[in-house]
């Protein structure tokens, strides 16, 4: 643990013994540069790894609104442009009513992340997102001590420290006296909260999205268990922090590796597949209201056929949308084999995929 090094090194007493305060100032300054301390407060704690979304409060509504029934979930999600199947809305409703996390599984690009975002919008809660990757650890996910701030404060209260130790006769006594004030330097004031702690300490309930949890290490998965079952985390120097409000937790997985039974047991499971043709038509219609319906149906059917081909990466819903958008911009009214091959690069992201579709173009275009 990094803070242990700070703790075990004679830092506080060192700083007093060090006569060169200029050096310390320079040190603190260089830390500012390295750690980006003093930047905009909103960006600081997440340093590019995760974001916090602004609250989308419902007009005239309370910040925290609950879903009343399965039907209600479906309608509210649709109002925020998310077309949810009965399965999705039932699971969301149950998870909210029983305060359990949802483990969402499914191929890439079927709207797993989008579901969490839409639920946050419906409930008028902030969304805190944490993207998992190999090597993600507690200091990136939970909290980190703010070394720079600790040093800066040490520097600023140096006079005070001097007062504390001035009466002591021996070095040992001085160290003892400083030790009594140790708590001042390891308090919540100096904790830099990362997404998980932010979600737990939030006064208002939030939606917490732990994205691509299958990419994280098994250690991190184990660490999540305490959070998901009791909504609390333990910080050695401070103790256990219990959640003030229950976050609505979504975990998403592409099944790169299988999740442990312990984690699965704590969640409600939801599998989202590629949408049926009518559902996908409705989704595109919702996002691109101006598009000609015949063309749209034809396009969605083609995408479904392309998904059946042997591709490295199957086109997902957002790619269907991109393709539809580009057709609207190009003012294309009918999809012939030539037009499909010309506009194919919006849905095929690999050269070999592009060639496979080109080779099977007649199969794809057939009515």
Partner 1 sequence: MVNLTLRFVACCRAADLRISTAEVLDCVSQLDLIQPLDEEEFKLVLRSNFAKSRREQSRFDQMYHLFFHEMQKDLSKVTHDPDSEQARSVIDMLRTEESDDALGKALTDFMDGDPMAFVEEVHRIHTQEEQEARALRSNMSQLASRLQVMLRINRMKNKVLNFQGGNHAVIDKDNARRIADSLNEKLDNALDLLNNEPQPDNYSLREIKHHDVKYNTIGEIPFASLSQEEIEEVRDVIWKLVKKLEEIATLRFSVSNRGVIDIKKTLRRSGKYLGVPMEIIFKDRPLRKGKIVALCDVSGSVWSTARFMLNILYSLQECFSKIKSYIFVSDLAEVTDFFRDNDVNEAIEKIMNDAPVNYYVPTDYGMAFQHFRNRHMQELDKKTTLLIIGDARSNHMNPQDLILKSMRERCKRVIWLNPEQEKFWGSGDSEMRTYKSHCHEVRPCGNLNQLIDFIEDLII
Binding site residues, partner 1, CB under 8 A? 2, 5-6, 8-9, 11, 14, 18-20, 22-24, 26-27, 30-31, 34-35, 70, 86-87, 90-91, 93-94, 97-98, 100, 103, 105-107, 134-135, 139, 144, 147, 217-218, 254-261, 264-265, 267-271, 273, 310, 312, 352, 356
Beta carbons within 10 angstroms of residue 159's beta carbon: 8
Give the nearest distance from C-beta 135 to partner 1 in angstroms: 6
Cα–Cα distance between 215 and 356 in angstroms, integer? 29
Give the nearest distance from C-beta 95 to partner 1 in angstroms: 9
Compare residues 297 and 360 and give the one whose CB is closer to partner 1.
Answer: 360
Give the nearest distance from C-beta 23 to partner 1 in angstroms: 4
Compare residues 119 and 267 and give the one whose CB is closer to partner 1.
Answer: 267
Give the nearest distance from C-beta 111 to partner 1 in angstroms: 16
194-195-199-202 Cα dihedral, nearest 10 degrees: 50
38-43-49-53 Cα dihedral, nearest 10 degrees: 160
Helices 112-123 and 86-98 cross at an angle (nearest 10°) of 60
Compare residues 258 and 293 and give the one whose CB is closer to partner 1.
Answer: 258
Give the nearest distance from C-beta 110 to partner 1 in angstroms: 11
Q: Are residues 221 and 260 in contact, defined by beta-carbon separation less than 8 angstroms?
A: yes
* Beta-carbon-side half-sphere exposure of residue 32 (alpha carbons within 13 Å): 10
Compare residues 126 and 146 and give the one whose CB is closer to partner 1.
Answer: 146
Compare residues 115 and 299 and give the one whose CB is closer to partner 1.
Answer: 115
Give the nearest distance from C-beta 81 to partner 1 in angstroms: 23
**Gyration radius (Cα) of the chain, Å:** 27
Compare residues 244 and 257 and give the one whose CB is closer to partner 1.
Answer: 257
Give the nearest distance from C-beta 106 to partner 1 in angstroms: 8
The token duo for 149 is: 């701030």
Give the nearest distance from C-beta 60 to partner 1 in angstroms: 27
Compare residues 288 and 309 and give the one whose CB is closer to partner 1.
Answer: 309
Give the nearest distance from C-beta 330 to partner 1 in angstroms: 30
Compare residues 9 and 63 and give the one whose CB is closer to partner 1.
Answer: 9
Compare residues 151 and 300 and give the one whose CB is closer to partner 1.
Answer: 151
């Amino acid at each position: 643990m990094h803070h242990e090094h700070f703790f075990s090194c004679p830092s506080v007493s060192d700083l007093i013994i060090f006569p060169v305060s200029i050096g310390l100032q320079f040190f603190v300054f260089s830390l500012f540069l390295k750690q980006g301390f003093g930047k905009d407060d909103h960006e600081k704690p997440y340093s590019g790894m995760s974001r916090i979304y602004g609250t989308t409060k419902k007009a005239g509504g309370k910040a925290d609104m609950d879903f009343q029934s399965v039907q209600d979930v479906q309608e509210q999600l649709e109002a925020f442009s998310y077309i949810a199947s009965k399965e999705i809305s039932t699971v969301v409703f149950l998870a909210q009513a029983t305060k359990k996390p949802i483990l969402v599984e499914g191929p890439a690009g079927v709207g797993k992340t989008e579901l969490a975002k839409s639920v946050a919008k419906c409930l008028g809660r902030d969304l805190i997102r944490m993207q998992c990757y190999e090597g993600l650890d507690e200091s990136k996910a939970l909290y980190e001590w703010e070394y720079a701030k600790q040093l800066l404060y040490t520097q600023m209260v140096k006079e005070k420290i001097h007062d504390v130790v001035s009466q002591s006769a021996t070095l040992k006594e001085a160290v003892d006296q400083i030790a009594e004030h140790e708590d001042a330097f390891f308090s919540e004031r100096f904790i830099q909260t990362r997404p998980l702690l932010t979600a737990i300490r939030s006064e208002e309930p939030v939606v917490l999205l732990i994205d691509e949890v299958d990419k994280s290490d098994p250690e991190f998965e184990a660490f999540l268990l305490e959070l998901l079952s009791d909504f609390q985390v333990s910080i050695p120097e401070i103790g256990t922090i219990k959640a003030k409000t229950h976050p609505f937790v979504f975990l998403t997985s592409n099944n790169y590796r299988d999740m442990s039974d312990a984690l699965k047991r704590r969640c409600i499971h939801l599998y989202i597949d590629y949408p049926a043709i009518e559902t996908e038509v409705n989704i595109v219609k919702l996002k691109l209201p101006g598009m000609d319906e015949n063309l749209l149906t034809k396009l969605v059917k083609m995408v479904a056929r392309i998904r059946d081909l042997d591709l490295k990466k199957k086109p997902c819903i957002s790619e269907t949308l991109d393709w539809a958008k580009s057709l609207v911009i190009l003012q294309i009214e009918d999809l012939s084999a030539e037009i499909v091959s010309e506009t194919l690069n919006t849905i095929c992201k690999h050269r070999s995929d592009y060639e496979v579709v080109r080779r099977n173009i007649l199969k794809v275009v057939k009515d």
